Amino acid sequence: MGFTDAERSAMARALVLAATPGVPLGPNPRVGCVLLADDGSTLAEGYHRGAGTPHAEADALARAGDAARGTTAVVTLEPCNHTGRTGPCAQALVAAGVRRVVFAQSDPNPVARGGAATLAAAGIEVERGLLEDESRAVNRVWSFAMVHARPFVTWKFATTLDGRSAAADGTSRWVSSQAARLDTHRLRSRCDTMLVGTNTIAVDDPLLTVRDEHGVVLPHQPLRVVMGERDLDPAKRVFDPQLSGGAETLHLRTRDPHAALADLFALDRQHVLLEGGPTLAAAFVQAGLVDEIVAYVAPMFLGSGPNAVADLGITTIADAFRPVVTDVTVLDGIDGEQPNVRLSMTPRTET
């Protein structure tokens, strides 16, 4: 049958609803729903507000009440087909008497998918694929995690022009500028997990929290994860909840990136910000487990000191690790500092 103009407009609106600001990070996707009357007018809208709250379809149906019968439901994601903290949306749409369902993206979650078949079996018209790419963009990280059964990994690091992450004496405050550090907190706020190695905790004693421009710890904090086998001093700041607004810390006693990501995925973690030092970064790069790179480049030279990444086992230029640059942004200096450059990149395997 294809899609009507009203359905296209409704899907665009549903995508806006799905991306509503303020929804806390969590294991569930961002979803929006618009119910259309026979004349193409909007009857009700809904969106998911986080784990444990009504799904977008249930939210819209509740707002429509009995008037939902005979409507078209336009949803950014295939209605779920399982019972978790809430009931299956596919069954809710059937029970409400919806006539037609249009959705953008098929559900990649093996536990929840199958809603389209349930709807079709109940005699409801089902169309899929409207603004699918836009829907995937809203849930880029969640979709990746569902397909690959592991969290999406963003590797963030700060470096000098000659590739140093610290000086020869180990000092690294500050390689990056104040503007770059503020941008890092923005990046942290988009992730549900921050991951470092035991050496970073032992040497730098970071707090690993998301803070605003005034240094105030924000209420919603990612999980702080320390990876490595060695014991750590419990007095380190990352283990003190009083300093971090209640942020939780987990010590994964492994050096295996695959094992670490498997453990985190089992905890419903979907987006890891890799903030560890050069050794941990090299382990993830060599394992092929870096999905995005954000580098803050400062206009300075040190001449010696730790590299931003440790030995990758590369001995010839033909085997160089060559990520693709997707964005270059100049971060203006604050209080007289020199501007830094933020490079956003995506890895590629071909040379």
Classify strands 324-331 and 340-346 as parallel, antiparallel or unpaired. antiparallel
Of all helices (H) and strands (E), which one includes residue 261?
Answer: helix 257-266
Contacts of 167 (CB under 8 A, 6+ apart): 302, 304, 305
> End-to-end CA distance of the chain, in Å?
44
Query: In one letter, which amino acid is 306?
Result: P
Tell me how crowded residue 292 is: count the other CB atoms within 10 A of its CB: 21
CB 162 within 8 A of CB 138: no
Nearest-angstrom CA–CA distance, 26 and 24: 6
Exposed / middle / buried, residue 123 (Cβ in 10 Å: 0-12, 13-18, 19+):
exposed
Q: What's the full length of the chain, in residues?
A: 351
C-alpha atoms less than 13 angstroms from C-alpha of 259 in its C-beta half-sphere: 9
Which of 334, 317, 338 is closest to 161 using CA atoms?
A: 338
Nearest-angstrom CA–CA distance, 50 and 54: 8
Q: Which strands sit side by side in the sheet containing 324-331, from one edge to the other?
A: 249-252, 223-227, 193-197, 271-274, 152-160, 292-298, 340-346, 324-331
CB 226 within 8 A of CB 252: yes
Query: Which residue among 7, 57, 78, 275 is the active-site one?
Result: 57
57 classed as catalytic: yes
- The first and second tokens of residue 59, run together, are 């939210």
β-sheet bridge partners, residue 158: 296
β-sheet bridge partners, residue 250: 225
- The first and second tokens of residue 140, run together, are 């880029």
Torsion region of 45: left, alpha or beta (phi above 0 gives left; psi -120 to 50 gives alpha)? beta
Residues annotated as part of the active site: 57
